[in-house]
Every structure is written in structure tokens, then in C-alpha cells.
Chain A
Amino acid sequence: MRAEAAPSFFLNDSPYPIREGVLEAYRELWQRFSQPGDSWSGAQRLAIAQETRDARNCDLCIRRKQQLSPYGLDESHVLTETGELIGATAVDSIHRIVTDPARLSRRMVEDARSSGLSDEQIVEMIGVACVTMAVDEHYRALGLDLEPLPEPVPGPPSGRRLSEDRLEVGTAYVPMLARDGAVGEEADLWSGRRTAIHILRALSLIPDALRDLTILSNEQYLTLEEAPAFALQPKGRAIDRLQMELLATRVSQVNECFY
């Protein structure tokens, strides 16, 4: 695995002024990624992050994207040492998420389940991949080299699972915490609110994955308090809310994201 010691100087070489809040959030996320999660070890979580990066240069993904159907090519990824840590189906899912988001379907999740991945593993994998991509895309948009991944912290995943009676099944491809389910140890997840919209609940099967997302969103986009208040300008930002939403819309259009 290509990994280096946890960096203490994120974006220090940037020619642009990076807000300290962004730096702190990214440092915290890298540290969290290196730790064992609920269903993947630290080494496996970093393998997910590495595959997220490698997908962009994957020959099979490039050829697959040119096919009429996303499943039109009967070929598999050749696993690297990193890929071996998480298995062929996880690698395939991550590559699809990164390179062909406009054609993601239930089949990706069903294939992952059929290969033996648990719903918790699938959700945690999606969370790590999406957060890695968000940080990397920030760097790429600024023309900066990507931050090296940290060294993994040894240890097994916690195996922590939410009880089934707290979950909502069928709304999305993966189970989510019920709308009013942010109670007890998960009371912080909706930021003190009683309920939450789908995008916030998507990763809630793995509460720490949602916490990763919140750390990231607070700095890259908006806090949970700011998001519904369209008329208010976010504090400490150099662009206004309208400009933020225009950018969001354009990215979503390019990715053909209906949501």
C-alpha cells in the first residue's frame, strides 16, 4: 500500500489561502480513516481510499464507461496488493462509484451482498470512498498534489451494529437509521434535530461514517444548521450561498445526479 505517516501540514504548500477549519477537518478525517472502523480494519479502510484514487486511471473502467451498459463488459479488475485487502467486489464497487456515478444501480449493492459483504461493510465502504473523493477533488480543483494516505492503525473492526428494530429498510438500497432514530449514542447524528432528510441518513447504518461526512460538510459546504436556511449567507466563506448552489448544480448535472 502506498501510505506515509499521518501528515501534519495538510495543504501547506498551497499557493492559495486555505481556511484553518478546512485543514483541521482534513487532518481529523485522515486520522479517522487510519483507525479500524465498525466493519473494516484501518488497513482495509485505507485500501478503500487507495482504490478510490486508483479508479481514475483504471483501464477497465475507461473501457466500461464506453459501453452501452455499465455491465456490458464481462471482465474483472486485476487486483493489486491493496485491492486484495478488500476483495474483488469491493474494488469493483468503488471503481464504479468513482468513474461511472451516473449509471449506479441496485445491482452494485446486490452484487456486493452476493459476494458476502454485509450491509455495514457496503455502507462503510461507500462512506470512505465518497469522503476520500471529496478531499481529493478539492485538491485537484486547486491543482495540488494529493495528500499521502496515512499509515493504518492495527486492530480489528469493532463489529458494532445497530439493532434491526432501529432501521428503516426499503427506502434506499441499504438500511438506514429511522427518521426519528438519532437517540442514545447516536443522538448527535441529526445535530440535535428530531428527523433528517435522506441524504443525511444514507450512511447512518454506520454512525461514524455519517460523522465523517458531517466533519467534511461543515467545512466544504454548510453545517446542518445552515443548509436549510437558503436566505442566510454562510459565515466565513468567500463565496455566497447562491454561488455555492450554482456550483453544486453544475457538478450534479455533470454527474447526472437526479437527487
Chain B
Amino acid sequence: MTDPDQLPEARAAVVDRLGEAALVDAAGVIGAFQRMNRLADATGLPVDKPLAVLTAGLDDELGIQGFYTAQHSKRLPWVVRKLGQMMRPFGSVMMKVLAPKNDV
């Protein structure tokens, strides 16, 4: 939903189903990512390599390679993408292996 006129109805639906506190926290996450998206794209951040490997192929499935901001990240070689797709079922474990120790 991107139409501000629909916001009152959307707020009421969240309060009705999840409660007022959930609405407040959901609105906070929306604020956080309005910020995070702009920060990443204003500074031209490429996707971190471990994440890029493990999500290889997902970008095509989601159709987000067509995003203009995809130019900030180099497309991985075919072999690496295939490897990433094979590793995806083990993603949470592989993230720990691929990410530098104590990384955040």
C-alpha cells in the first residue's frame, strides 16, 4: 500500500488484529527501513559478499535485478550463483561460516 488515503483503514486493521502496541512497533520498523533504504542507496552500498552468495538467484526470482539500485552490486559469476543456490537450504548455518567471526 502506497496511498496515504488508505492509512487510516490500514491502521485500524492492524489495531483490530494485533493491537495498538503492534501498530506502534510496525510503524517504527517502517520508519527504520525508509531510512535504511535511502542510506544504502545514497552511499551506493553493494550487497555484502556472504549475503550475495547465499541469496544468489533470489534476486532473479524476486525480479529485483531490474531495480536501478542493483547497479551498486556487481552480479556474481554464474558458478558462484549456482553454488549459492545449492547452499541456500543451509543458509542460516552458512551465514555463520561465510561471515567473518564476530561480524555484525
Report A's interface with B, CB cutoff 8 A: 15-19, 22, 93, 97-98, 101-106, 108-109, 123, 126-127, 129-131, 133-138, 140-143, 171-174, 179, 190-191, 193-200, 202-203, 213, 216-217, 219-221, 224-225, 227-228, 230-231, 237-239, 243-244, 247-248, 251-259
Contacts and interface: CB of A to CB of B under 8 A. Distances in A.
Counting chain B CB atoms within 10 Å of each CB, the highest count among A106, A134, A191, A224 belongs to: A134
A118 B2 CA distance: 35
Nearest to A15: B20
A136 to B, nearest CB: 8
A140 B102 CA distance: 36
A126 B42 contact: yes
A52 to B, nearest CB: 10
B3 to A, nearest CB: 11
B103 A220 contact: no
B20 A199 contact: no
A221 B67 CA distance: 25
Interface residues of B, number: 55
Given A97-B42, A217-B32, A258 B70 contact: yes
18 contacts: A19-B25, A103-B68, A104-B42, A109-B42, A130-B39, A137-B27, A137-B35, A141-B30, A195-B100, A197-B48, A198-B40, A213-B35, A220-B28, A221-B29, A221-B36, A244-B25, A247-B29, A255-B37
Report, nearest first, the 5 A-B pairs whose CB atoms are least far apart: A134-B35, A141-B27, A238-B21, A138-B31, A173-B44
Contact of A141 (B31, B43, B67, B104): B31
A219 B44 CA distance: 25
B69 A197 contact: no
B64 interface: yes
Nearest to B39: A130
Contacts of B26: 141, 239, 243, 247
A258 B25 contact: no
A258 B35 contact: no
A102 B71 CA distance: 11
Interface string B60-104: 000011011111110000000000000000001001000111111
Given A15-B20, A252-B37, A258-B73, 19 more contacts: A17-B24, A19-B24, A19-B25, A102-B69, A105-B68, A123-B43, A130-B35, A141-B30, A193-B104, A197-B104, A198-B46, A202-B40, A243-B26, A247-B30, A255-B37, A256-B68, A257-B67, A259-B46, A259-B73
Contacts of A134: 31-32, 34-35
A133 B34 contact: yes
B47 A133 contact: no
B33 A251 contact: yes
Contact of B104 (A103, A108, A191, A221): A191
B30 A126 contact: no
Contacts, number: 227
B103 to A, nearest CB: 5
B68 A137 contact: no
B64 A138 contact: no
Contacts of B59: 258
